[in-house]
Amino acid sequence: MKLNKYIDHTNLKPYATKKDIKQLCDEAIAYDFASVCVHPCYVKDVKELLKNSKIAVGTVIGFPLGSNTTETKVFEVKKALNDGAEELDMVINIGALKGGDYEYVEKEIAAIVEAAGGHILKVIIETSYLDNEEIIKMCEICKNNFVHFIKTSTGFSNNGATLENIILMKKHIGDILEIKASGGIKTYEDAVALIDAGAMRIGTSNGIKIMEGCK
């Protein structure tokens, strides 16, 4: 297993500076991670910093609460792509899902898929706020709209990825799309357990620590 290629090396701290983002990119290059994930304001910087690598430039949409309007999220997508983003992690409208307005959630995802124009889209469902039925419903919606990944968490909620949620999601998506586990993943053992359960990407700010755990 090339564990490094499962990792989206991430700094989404609200106080991240340009110096922090350069360090993030330097680390990603050193370990050849799958991608770097940063706030939208740093996409142009990351695109330049990673220009001589094959590491993908990732950013977040509607982050971290998901409560932006659909129109705002679509604008964010277009701006991010124009700035050089290649992968997009979008937070759903969690309140709409919890309220049973599945049509709103599905239409919003469809609009983001269209705006993304084939670029990799990861839909963050924030599992810690959801019951099993809602997680299963989001698996269905994501399958119907041909997103690339369903993602557990932002890392800003009560809890992050759990083994139980990855197993549940994998059961209901099969091989139609992939899972990104994110939030609270701090060790090599954590990462390997989630990958073994079905995760194909690991979103973490602890990528270096995880890779050191391989030794």
User: Is residue 151 annotated as a catalytic residue, yes or no?
Assistant: yes
- DSSP E strand stretches across the chain: 7-11, 35-38, 56-61, 87-91, 120-124, 149-151, 178-182, 199-204
Q: Give Rg (Cα) of the chain.
A: 16
Select which of 122, 137, 180, 190 is catalytic.
180
Among left, alpha and beta (phi > 0; psi -120 to 50; other), residue 180 is beta
User: Is residue 131 annotated as a catalytic residue, yes or no?
Assistant: no
Q: Find, among 152, 86, 138, 136, the residue nearest to 109 by Cα.
A: 138
The token pair at 133 is: 């039925």
Kind and range of the H or E element at 95? helix 94-98
User: Is residue 22 annotated as a catalytic residue, yes or no?
Assistant: no
Select which of 89, 137, 170, 190 is catalytic.
89
Select which of 8, 151, 170, 190 is catalytic.
151
- DSSP E strand stretches across 68-115: 87-91
Catalytic residues: 89, 151, 180
